[in-house]
Structure 1
Amino acid sequence: MAPFTAAEEENLPEGLQPELMPKHVAVIMDRNGRWAKNKGLQPWDALRQMGIQVLTVFAFSTDNWIRPKIEIDFLLNLFERTLKSELETLAKNNVRISIIGDSSKLPKSLLKVINEVEEVTKNNTRLQLIVAVGYSGKYDVLQACRGIAQRVKDGEIEVEEIDERLIEQELETNCTEFPYPDLLIRTSGELRVSNFLLWQLAYTELFFAQELWPDFGRSGFIEALMSFQQRQRRFGGRKS
């Protein structure tokens, strides 16, 4: 991923330090439907300009499949239309799109759009936008375990060789250079991670906002980043 440009560093909001900027930000987008319908994907551009390298958003959980079919169809159709309408803009702005999650239940038309978007943007380097669709943290760990079990069965590895590194290679976030979010943002006053990136969030800093997602804009991102930069991350170690 591309580092800060001189112009981006100069235009950072007052008080933010480029050397303390998180590389990977994850977002749980409560009430995201109205936001996407009205504003497309434009807020990602704000993070790109701040030097964030990876942004992962929780668009549709495996738990959402229990919702009424009409609501599911609306959300998936909205996501498909948004990908189509924003593809040119994202490509022009050097944004790479990656989709993670269980795709087995997704409509064929959406899968076709996902494949196109990932192919068109695969060489972009300014920002990687990872969209979790049909995803859950439990699903991610489960599919990783199944992948490792199959490799053991096929004789590729021994049981004794299974370690954290091997599991991490099988997680869906292996699509990025920075698989572990430095900062997780959740809006609408909810105080939980809701089955999102359970393995990857082990040492992530958490920021909870009262605003609904449609109302959480650039000022909200700046507040979250300010909070992040004031924390001392020890990753389980003692304060020196």
Structure 2
Amino acid sequence: MRVHKLAFATLAVTAALSLTACQNDEPGTAQGAPTTAPAATTGAAPGGAPAPNGPASNAPAPNGPASNAPAPSGPGKTATPPAAAPAGSTAAGGPAKCRTADLTLTATDHTITGDPANTVVVELKNHSGKDCTLSGYAGVDLKTSAGTLSAKRSGEPVVTGTVKNGKSTYFGITYPANTTGGSGVRITGLVVTPPDETQSVTLPWPGAGSLPVTDTAGSPVKIGPMGSAGQGE
């Protein structure tokens, strides 16, 4: 009878130990298991590449404030051209230069008896409908029986002047009188090119009919700058 009691007690102890071992093997209840997952590592990934969940980059966000740098001018970009000055004016807003098409040119004999040289005055009248400026020397050629004779500049200082619409400016042409008694060099016409222009105007010659023949080098005909002669000269 004692042998049966010992065998039953041993069986009960073994069963209790077995039950405890099974309970310890169930997932999520094992002793010593961490209750929270370890924090993610923020260090560099193998090979030097940044960890996927590392610190945010310092690069500016794609939709951040616009840069102050000028827009690129490469392909696909169009640079904004500077604003053009209005027609008939300079970039600073003042009157534009007088063009040949803006002017009416006439030539008049203004020789005064007793003067050492003869004089023709050329008038340039502004009919453009707006003010314009004229400064410097015109180009002047005399057509003669011996060919074209270009006038020389007198060397007087140049002054920029504004010619108001409907008004005129003048310059003088001086040339020696033919007192030799011979036919001299016959003058047949006058060609005038306003300053800074390439378009010329051909006018009738209003002065003496000839120039004296001379052996002196250079042209005996001289011109003054714009504004060097007046209407009464």
Q: Normalising TM by the smaller chain, what interval?
A: under 0.3
Q: Which has the higher strand share?
A: 2
Q: Which has the higher contact order (CA 8 A, sep 6+)?
A: 1
Of structures 1 and 2, the larger Rg is shown by 2
Give me the TM-score of the superposition, normalised by structure 2: 0.21
Give me the TM-score of the superposition, normalised by structure 1: 0.21
